[in-house]
Amino acid sequence: MTDRPPVRVAVIGQGFMGKAHSLGWLRAARLERTRLQPVLSVLCGRDQAALRRNGALYGYARTSSDWGAVVDADDVDLVDICTPGSSHAEIALAALAAGKHVLCEKPLANTLGEAEQLARAAAEARDRGAFTMVGFNYRRVPAVAALRELVASGRLGALRHVRGMYLQDWLVDPAFPLTWRLDAAQAGSGALGDLGAHVIDLVRHLSGQEIIEVVASLETFVKQRPVLSSGGGLLAQPGRTGTRAVTVDDACVALARLAGGALVTIEATRMAPGRKNALCIELNGALSSARFELERLNELHVYDPSGTAGGFTTRLVTGTDDPYVAQWWPPGHILGWEHTFVHQFQDFLEAVAEGRQPQPSFADGLATQSVLHAISVSAATHAWVEVPTGPGSGPA
């Protein structure tokens, strides 16, 4: 047993992200790194059979299919939103009005207007002691945290180029059925918001600068996809026809500029055969360069201009003196993708315990949403677009 004050958590959504968050909270509750004890209080979802199964599997005290009742409940202190983007604003605003802390998966909202509303509400809630965070979990990869320290130390020198890409291939097959992620009404955008948001956040986070202007192009390569029947079968099977328009982008490419003058390239696609989860970011400065690849997430590649080889060296970021690693295993033992959620929740709880704003904040979520918005406008107008600035935005 622990004598740490409890923080009772409600997770809204039980799909892919709901599973990742539930397991992350469960692990965070077993590691006494924070001064607050997370307690799995409520799991909320729509599929009753899955809800019963998952509630028991993850050890929630109870389950509910009514998110409105959950955010108002007395046994909830923190609301963790893992639903499609179309419901982020409604749930988050209700939770903040109820005085709860809120963690919201990225992107913060489906529209710039919703993100602005959420950033204002978060600022007001903070004054009342309720804190918010956006779920950009890749900030919590130890190698990414080490890379941020490297850039901040000035070792790379003044930044000249930042190139980021996030490549996946799960939509390459045109027979892959339509899901909510391919519906603009639910997802807001496609690869741009799903993957590009991570790239944009890492560009801001690692550089410490804002993206100020963009020119971009979006493309939907497969414009119609089979839809699922209520029974789970494909309507496009022989003898049964049915497709629906894909209303989001399959891929995005953008050229951008940082406030300090560096050039930025952003690429996001779910149509790159052989690329399963290939997030990569490289920074080139006046003195040196560094590169991170998610599929080699325990490594950081750094150019050492003083080295005799004259090339990149690989640093294994698994030592006890590296960010986040001390609580885990002996040096050299590999950490995984799931650990990023544990680190994220621990950082959130520690900030709440200290009464300071967790990072990334809803203001950071708004800043990323502003870039997403500018990219969408640029793709529609075929022109350079200045990134709108919102209240409280700035890299953190």
DSSP string over 107-168: SS-SSHHHHHHHHHHHHHHHHTT--EEEE-GGGGSHHHHHHHHHHHTTTT-SEEEEEEEEE-
What pLDDT does 252 receive?
Answer: 98
Asked if residue 336 and residue 199 are part of one domain, the reply reads: yes
Report yes or no on 392 lying in a domain.
Answer: no
**Tally of structural domains, the chain:** 2
What pLDDT does 241 receive?
Answer: 55
CATH for 27: 3.40.50.720
**Half-sphere exposure of residue 280: CA atoms within 13 angstroms, side-chain side:** 17
Report yes or no on 238 lying in a domain.
Answer: yes
Asked if residue 227 and residue 115 are part of one domain, the reply reads: no
What pLDDT does 390 receive?
Answer: 57
What pLDDT does 391 receive?
Answer: 52
Report yes or no on 394 lying in a domain.
Answer: no
What pLDDT does 389 receive?
Answer: 81
What pLDDT does 194 receive?
Answer: 98
Report yes or no on 349 lying in a domain.
Answer: yes
Q: Is the bond into 142 cis (omega within 30 degrees of 0)?
A: no
Look at the pTM and tell me if it is higher than 0.85. Answer: yes
What pLDDT does 13 receive?
Answer: 98
How far is residue 368's CA from residue 197's CA, in Å, rounded to a whole number? 7
Asked if residue 194 and residue 98 are part of one domain, the reply reads: no
15's CB contacts (< 8 A; 6+ apart) are: 82
Structural domain including 193 reads 140-386
How far is residue 75's CA from residue 44's CA, in Å, rounded to a whole number? 13
Asked if residue 329 and residue 288 are part of one domain, the reply reads: yes
Report yes or no on 99 lying in a domain.
Answer: yes
Asked if residue 94 and residue 175 are part of one domain, the reply reads: no
Low pLDDT (below 70) residues in the chain: 1-2, 229-241, 308-309, 390-396
CA distance to 119, 192, 368, per residue, from 360 (Å): 12, 19, 11
How far is residue 102's CA from residue 81's CA, in Å, rounded to a whole number? 8
How far is residue 388's CA from residue 366's CA, in Å, rounded to a whole number? 10
What pLDDT does 307 receive?
Answer: 72
What pLDDT does 135 receive?
Answer: 98
What pLDDT does 231 receive?
Answer: 44
